[in-house]
Chain A
């Protein structure tokens, strides 16, 4: 149980285009979902926290107009990287917290490798 999927697992796009990444909780309802970014050999950095049906809360330094997050249902959150540039190339991981889970419970997706050329 507690499986989180991400799609696509990897994507290559050209500068200036937008890319959408999906995060789904497959066997539980997630009232809260999180988006992380990981650079090579570095730690996961929290980008934003989203609650179903409300606006995401972005961490300091994360551009909300560039990284659009939509948490439209209890099983789906999307991250759209708008007008992507090579510096946006990174590994993006989502996680989800079950509605009935403890405060510290998070289940992670497998991640999406984004390469912007």
Chain B
């Protein structure tokens, strides 16, 4: 049951422009959302998160937006840098079982110099 979906397997952006990565979920019980970044041959590293009581969380160049009514979240990277090139996973969890993360299939971001 794919409860978290990332429908774009890849995204290519010019350096300095905005990267927008999207994620949709189906379970209304999810109340915590995370974005992870993964380089080849490395494990996912935590990037940014958001609780369902917020609709926006910002950390430097990274901003996550949450639209609960649409069950949609997005990660904005501004400005994009070549070092941001990686696979980005969104994940969702719920306070009813915070041990279980549901991951999307990832979006490969390529930032061109």
- A associates with B: yes
Partner-B contacts on A (CB < 8 A): 4, 6, 9, 32, 34, 41-46, 49, 57, 59, 93, 95, 103-111
Residues of A within 8 A of B106 (CB): 41, 43
A4, A57, A103 interface centre (most CB from chain B within 10 Å): A103
CA of A101 to CA of B49, assembled, Å = 15
A43-B89, A44-B89, A93-B43 known; A106 vs B105 contact (CB < 8 Å) = no
Contact B104–A43 (Cβ < 8 Å) = yes
Once the chains bind, are B43 and A109 in contact (CB under 8 Å)?
A: yes
Which of B2, B32, B34, B42 sits near A43, CB closer than 8 Å?
B2
Shortest Cβ distance from B95 into A: residue: A103
Q: Is B64 an interface residue (CB 8 A)?
A: no
A102 to B106, CA, bound (A): 24
Residue of B with least CB distance to A32: B99
Among the interface residues B32, B41, B99, B106, which one has the most CB atoms of the partner chain A within 10 A? B99
Contact between A104 and B105, CB atoms less than 8 A apart:
no
Are B43's CB and A41's CB within 8 A?
no
Taken together as a complex, chains A and B put the C-alpha atoms of A49 and B101 apart, in Å, by 11
A34 adjacent to B99 (CB under 8 Å): yes
User: Which residues in window 20-64 of B have CB below 8 A to A?
Assistant: 32, 34, 36, 41-46, 49
